[in-house]
Structure formats: structure tokens, C-alpha cells
Amino acid sequence: MDTDKNHQLHQRIFDMVEAIPAGKVATYGQIGSMIGGCSGRMVGFALASLRYVENQGVPWQRVINRHGKISLTGSEAALQRALLQDEGVRFDTNGVIDLSEFGWQPKDLS
């Protein structure tokens, strides 16, 4: 039962992340709040699970932390940054994305 609930939650998270347009980002907490009953940490765990599934097509790179930064480290962080830059997202000299410019603000989710 818990596995089925986790799968359903992960799918809802993936669906929400798929709605983020190219060139925009959302925070882990933002996605969790939009889903309801879900923390930013849970969103992070769900997105981390994608590395074990081929061809998901979920634009995981568009989810960052509340400070406008990439939370990953090493080569994963470099990949996320490159993917975002390819979409036109800009970083300042401290590696911060301006959420007022690049943050996703969906108009209507109903």
C-alpha cells in the first residue's frame, strides 16, 4: 500500500515538474505546496529516484532550492547548470538564479 501511495505521489510530482516551461524554474518547496501534503524534501527524493528509471522525460533540472541555487553537487550540479543555461536561465556570479525573473508562476492549475 505504501509503495502504491509513493508511486502515486511521485507521479503527481513528475506531472507538476513537467508543467514547468523551458527557461523557468520552481523550488522544491513550491512544487510540494502546489501538490499539497508534500514537503520540498519529498519532491527532492522523488526527483532523485529518476536516476533509476530510463527515459522519464521529466525536466528535473528546472527544480532548484529556495535560495535560487542548485542543490546538487559535482558533475550532477554541472549538468543541471548546463541544461538550465541551454534553456536561457542565467546565474549570477554566486551561482544564484533570480527567481523574480526565472521563477515559474503558474496562472491556473485547476
CATH code at position 57: 1.10.10.10
- pLDDT confidence of residue 1: 39
pLDDT exceeds 90 at position 56? no
The answer to whether position 108 is within a domain reads: no
With 80 as the cut, is the pLDDT of residue 28 above it?
A: yes
pLDDT value at 110 more than 70: no
Categorize the per-residue pLDDT at 54 as very low, low, confident or very high, splitting at 50, 70 and 90.
low
pTM of the model as a whole: 0.90
Please report whether residue 45 resides in a domain.
Answer: yes
Structural domain of 96: 2-101
d(CA 61, CA 67): 15
Q: Looking at the domain assignment, is residue 71 inside a domain?
A: yes
Return the amino acid letter for 18.
E
Percent of the residues in the chain that have a pLDDT greater than 70, as a whole number? 93
Helix (H, G, I), strand (E, B) or coil at 21: coil
Residues 6+ apart with CB under 8 A from 38: 9, 12, 13, 31, 32
